[in-house]
Amino acid sequence: MSGTWITTRAWLLMLPLLIVMVAVIGWPLADTVQLSFTDAKLVGTSGSYVGFDNYLRLVSGNAFGRTLFTTTFFAVVVVTTEMVFGVLAALLLNQQFYGRTLLRALLILPWALPTVVNATLWRLIYNPEYGALNAALTQIGILDAYRSWLGEPGTALTALIVADCWKNFPLVAMIALAALQAVPRDVIAASYVDGASAFSRFRFVTLPYLAGPLMVALVLRTIEAFKVFDIIWVMTRGGPANSTRTMSILVYQEAFSFQRAGSGASHGARRRLRHRCKESCRERHLMERQSPLFRLFLHVAALLLAAVILAPLVWLFVMSISPAADLAAKPLKWWPATMDFSRYTVLLSTTENSAGAAFIASLRNSLMVAGMATLAAIALAVPAGWAVSRTPSVGWSLSVVIATYMLPPVALAVPLYMALSNFGLLNSVFGLALVYLTILAPFTTWLMKSGFDGIPREIEQAAVIDGASLWQTLRIITLPLAMPVVATSALFAFLLGWDEFFYALLFTSDQRAKTLTVAIADLAGGRVSDYGLIATAGVLAALPPVIVGLVMQRALISGLTSGGVKG
């Protein structure tokens, strides 16, 4: 096969992704630039919701330096913590222990909570008068008196960081876990034979396989951490005295150059290992023996992880069934005297025109929008990801596509609104799904690319030599091997779509298209809100992603088909 044909083929495989991106994002972006010349005020005023005005003002104001520091500090600490905890959790979940399947399913829970619910949950936990954290710490005896966690400059940022990490470390863990599934067992077995220590086994065997996918997580989370808005808005609004005020800064270029360096390094290491493994595949079952002490350690660690994930969620559930007075009791009642399920009845009522009907409609809309966007994103990402993985020369186009994620939604909102309006796609689940597709597709493509990077080309070449067509090779050899990554990408895309709020708020107007996050904002909005009802909505909102996650469990761990290598 000639080089030009391979490049052309790669472009053809990339084409669907590029067409969608240019049609939905590229054109409005050009329009925005033009519009900003003709009627800058209109665009500017539409930005007040996300606090974009604040960002612009900050850049010109004298608080710039301090805010930059706060943002950087927040992003670095959050991302580092999430990466470390995420990888540790993934390593743990890759081991054999009782309840592993359950714990893997639980892992999705924090991530499945819509951001607004997560922020409200933590705001209540940190409440200076009736919060669960104060109650727990005083009852244990660590604190003498209740403290103001979000009201003191010394603790507010840390409190925010904990809340954000709790929600987002599962993303890193899921991606790392999928990558770990792709590490051929032979390679690990080989390292046992070679007598490598646990650390060097991680450093030289596992980490190179993790590097690519983790870089996707790293870049995504870094961008999101720098763009962070919702959680801070709900919890502190930048207070006290601006100590938690952050801003969104475009740092993707640094992130990208870092990414290239990282993936370059991992390539070399992987090649060396593959060579070694061929000699010692027979020893693979060696690693399946665990010492009793190690097994004990695993189970303790698993319990700890489960506790970290579950404690806030259990509290969310308790709040959803507690009368409001119980939640304001001192000392705090950890379990209501009488369980009150009325909020569930309210939200799940199917009576026509009731709040329940509206909530259920929004659940259905969210499932449809996130589901359709996810399916389409995977359909675009598989060929495009494969093309970029096997033909690195077209990779720059993916970088450009991913860079669009840095664009604040507010920059695109006006032209997108007009375009959707022209095509009659406002207040439509299809229109919203199309917009979401442009958010989901870039990262799923990148994730798929890293996944394909981990699958040796030699396997595909062997199949081609055996006479298989490209399509057959992909279908029979590559895709089954990439299943864990496909499943993770799909889950990741689904949850990203599930949590989206800004576009949904602007582009929907009634039950025909309103999504869950907007419905929750309907419940939570303004000065008056029943926290118990938000908690109930949060519990219900977390259920569908968890079910999706459970269904995908098989796919997430099914990729262990190392027998396909002709060695």
Q: How many residues bind another protein (CB under 8 A)?
A: 61
Find the angle CA(482)-CA(486)-CA(488) to the nearest 5 degrees.
Answer: 120
Residue 358 is a binding residue for another protein (CB under 8 A): yes
Side-chain half-sphere exposure of 371, counting CA atoms within 13 A:
13
Residue 346 is a binding residue for another protein (CB under 8 A): yes
Residue 424 is a binding residue for another protein (CB under 8 A): no
Question: Phi and psi dihedrals of 105, rounded to 5?
Answer: -70, -40
Residue 512 is a binding residue for another protein (CB under 8 A): yes
Residue 526 is a binding residue for another protein (CB under 8 A): yes
Could you tell me the smallest distance in angstroms from the CB atom of residue 220 to another protein? 25
Residue 153 is a binding residue for another protein (CB under 8 A): yes
Could you tell me the smallest distance in angstroms from the CB atom of residue 412 to another protein? 12
Candidates 39-47, 263-271, 287-295, 453-461; binding stretch for another protein (CB under 8 A):
39-47
Candidates 145-153, 249-257, 395-403, 461-469; binding stretch for another protein (CB under 8 A):
145-153
Give the separation between CA 160 and CA 136, rounded to whole angstroms.
18
Q: What would the x/- binding string for another protein be over residues 528 to 567, using CB under 8 A?
A: xxxx-x----------------------------------
For the segment 158-217, give every residue that binds another protein (CB under 8 A): none
Residue 432 is a binding residue for another protein (CB under 8 A): no
Compute how many other C-beta atoms are within 10 angstroms of the C-beta atom of residue 158.
Answer: 12
What is the residue type of 326?
Answer: D
Give the separation between CA 345 and CA 148, rounded to whole angstroms.
35
Residues 283 and 84 sit within 8 Å (Cβ to Cβ): no
Please report the DSSP string for 356-414 in residue order.
Answer: HHHHHHHHHHHHHHHHHHHHHHHHHHHHHHHHHHH-GGGHHHHHHHHHGGGS-HHHHHH
**Relative orientation angle of helices 531-557 and 479-499, to the nearest 10 degrees:** 170
Q: Which two tokens stand for residue 513?
A: 């298209």
For another protein, the closer of residues 31 and 194 by Cβ is 31
For another protein, the closer of residues 249 and 418 by Cβ is 418
For the segment 236-265, give every residue that binds another protein (CB under 8 A): 236-242
For another protein, the closer of residues 129 and 288 by Cβ is 129
What is the residue type of 191?
Answer: S
Residues 206 and 520 sit within 8 Å (Cβ to Cβ): no
Candidates 19-27, 385-393, 502-510, 540-548; binding stretch for another protein (CB under 8 A):
502-510
Residue 506 is a binding residue for another protein (CB under 8 A): yes
For the segment 45-64, give every residue that binds another protein (CB under 8 A): 45-46, 48-49, 53-54, 57, 61-63
Q: Which two tokens stand for residue 285?
A: 């079952």
Candidates 5-13, 312-320, 351-359, 393-401; binding stretch for another protein (CB under 8 A):
351-359
Residues 450 and 399 sit within 8 Å (Cβ to Cβ): no
Residue 511 is a binding residue for another protein (CB under 8 A): yes
Closest to 93 in 3D by CA, of 563, 561, 549:
549
Residue 502, classified by CB atoms within 10 Å of its CB into exposed (0-12), middle (13-18) or buried (19+), is: middle
Residue 368 is a binding residue for another protein (CB under 8 A): no
Question: Phi and psi dihedrals of 512, rounded to 5?
Answer: -70, -25
Give the separation between CA 174 and CA 160, rounded to whole angstroms.
22
Residue 355 is a binding residue for another protein (CB under 8 A): yes
Q: How many residues does the chain have?
A: 567
For another protein, the closer of residues 518 and 556 by Cβ is 518
Could you tell me the smallest distance in angstroms from the CB atom of residue 19 to another protein? 24
Instruction: Please state whether 99 falls in left (phi above 0), alpha (psi between -120 and 50) or beta.
Output: left
Candidates 73-81, 272-280, 296-304, 511-519; binding stretch for another protein (CB under 8 A):
511-519
Question: Exactly one of 522, 546, 550, 555 binds another protein (CB under 8 A); which one?
Answer: 522
Residues 13 and 471 sit within 8 Å (Cβ to Cβ): no
Question: Exactly one of 4, 41, 288, 293 binds another protein (CB under 8 A); which one?
Answer: 41
Question: Exactly one of 325, 335, 471, 563 binds another protein (CB under 8 A); which one?
Answer: 325
Question: Exactly one of 9, 68, 94, 130 binds another protein (CB under 8 A); which one?
Answer: 130
Residue 94 is a binding residue for another protein (CB under 8 A): no
**Relative orientation angle of helices 516-524 and 531-557, to the nearest 10 degrees:** 160
Candidates 189-197, 200-208, 354-362, 388-396; binding stretch for another protein (CB under 8 A):
354-362
For another protein, the closer of residues 435 and 441 by Cβ is 435
Residue 110 is a binding residue for another protein (CB under 8 A): no
Contacts for 565 with CB less than 8 Å, ≥ 6 apart: 184, 186, 456, 458, 459
Residue 121 is a binding residue for another protein (CB under 8 A): no
Could you tell me the smallest distance in angstroms from the CB atom of residue 136 to another protein? 18
Residue 470 is a binding residue for another protein (CB under 8 A): no
Question: Exactly one of 216, 413, 437, 477 binds another protein (CB under 8 A); which one?
Answer: 413
Give the separation between CA 115 and CA 295, rounded to whole angstroms.
36
- Classify each residue of 317-330 as buried b or exposed e, where b means 16 or more C-beta atoms within 10 Å of its C-beta: bbbbbbbeebbeee
Residues that bind another protein (CB under 8 A): 39, 41-42, 45-46, 48-49, 53-54, 57, 61-63, 127-130, 148, 150-151, 153, 236-242, 323-325, 328, 346, 353-355, 357-358, 413-414, 417-418, 421, 505-506, 509-512, 518, 521-523, 525-531, 533
